[in-house]
Amino acid sequence: MPQYQMYFDTLEGEKKYNVDVGDSEPIEEVLRDILVELSEKGHTMKGLSTGDLKVVWGGRQGRELDLSRTLPEQGVQPNEVLRVLVEMYEGGGSLRDDRIQNEWRLLEQLARLNPGAVRAERHERSPGKDVFLVRLNESSGVESIDREGNPVIRHSHTLRFVFQRYYPDMPVEAYVDQPLFHPNIRPETGFVCLWESSSADYTIVQAVARARAMAAFRMVNLGTAHLMNRGAAQWYTQVGMPRQLVPLSWDELQVFEVRAGQLVWLEPARQMAHSAGGGRVGFRSA
């Protein structure tokens, strides 16, 4: 399959990769697969929430290509240089609003599928920020540690999921209103370090599931950049795990429903990842 040099304008800066593109494939079809692969590697296109993707041949001031057509149709030869970026437009933000409205619908679906465990309390709006208040029930979490080193368990938690102004270029943030003792939860603010890296594909479904798993010590990241509570990390490695006090028991959330005999996931990114196939991007940065 012909290979092209593509530069992607991401939040981390411009990234260059060699990309396989079939002669009969319209560019827009190729981009869908590539963006999924890039997000799995932790890369997010700059401005994706408030603009439209475009591909430029011959540098930033070069010719913009028609995404509905193939590369050979437009005279582009294998191994030529292309740039993928987002064209910003005035009055941007409607895509962000649409995405947040869809996130609320996903949360309501998640609550309907898990009526005992998840409750969507309310959606609060303020300039530059949207907040979802979520109540988790039937959800084991470590509130504190007693004098003997045993965990004090709480089964209900209120969380705030915050969508900042630049969402989804920056992922949703999570905060707990009641204390939770965990290496990746900052006790002073309740901030929950949900993600290892940024991705526009993360949804409220994944955020809720991760927060619930973290409360039960089903998910722990001891990496320096993600460590929010050193005392909790010390207890986890020296007491909790050796004495098998964690992880706590729990029931998995249902994140799918059956429609017309077909399994449909609430997480669109999971569907996209399954359909992306074997992969196109040769991650050989130059």
Enter the pTM of the model. 0.66
CA–CA separation, 115 and 98 (whole Å): 25
Whether the CB-CB separation of 208 and 114 falls below 8 Å is answered with: no
- Give me the torsion for CA of 104, 109, 113, 116, rounded to 10°: 30
Residues 253, 212: contact at Cβ < 8 Å? yes
pLDDT at 273: 43
Q: Check residue 283 and give its pLDDT.
A: 47
Ordered mean pLDDT values, 10 residues apiece, the chain (286 residues): 88 85 91 81 72 74 84 91 74 70 95 97 91 97 97 98 83 95 97 86 91 97 95 98 95 88 72 49 48
As a whole number of angstroms, the distance between CA 105 and CA 251 comes to: 23
| Other CB atoms within 10 Å distance of the CB of residue 130 | 21
User: For helices 27-40 and 268-275, what crossing angle results, to 10°?
Assistant: 110
* Span(s) in the chain for CATH 3.10.110.10: 94-254
Specify the pLDDT at position 242.
Answer: 98
Encoding tokens for residue 237? 């490695």
Structure tokens at 54: 């475009």
CA–CA distance, 206 with 250 (Å, rounded to integer): 17
Residue intervals in the chain for CATH 3.10.20.90:
3-92+269-282
**Cα 201 to Cα 43: distance, rounded to the nearest angstrom:** 10
What per-residue confidence (pLDDT) applies to 275? 43
C-alpha span between 8 and 281 (Å, rounded): 12
- The whole-angstrom distance between residue 126's C-alpha and the CA centroid of its chain comes to 23
Quick one: pLDDT at residue 169? 72
Peptide bond into 2 cis (omega under 30): no
Give the architecture-level CATH label for domain 3-92+269-282.
Answer: Roll (3.10)
Out of 1.10.3720.10, 3.40.50.720, 3.10.110.10, 3.40.640.10, the CATH code matching 94-254 is: 3.10.110.10
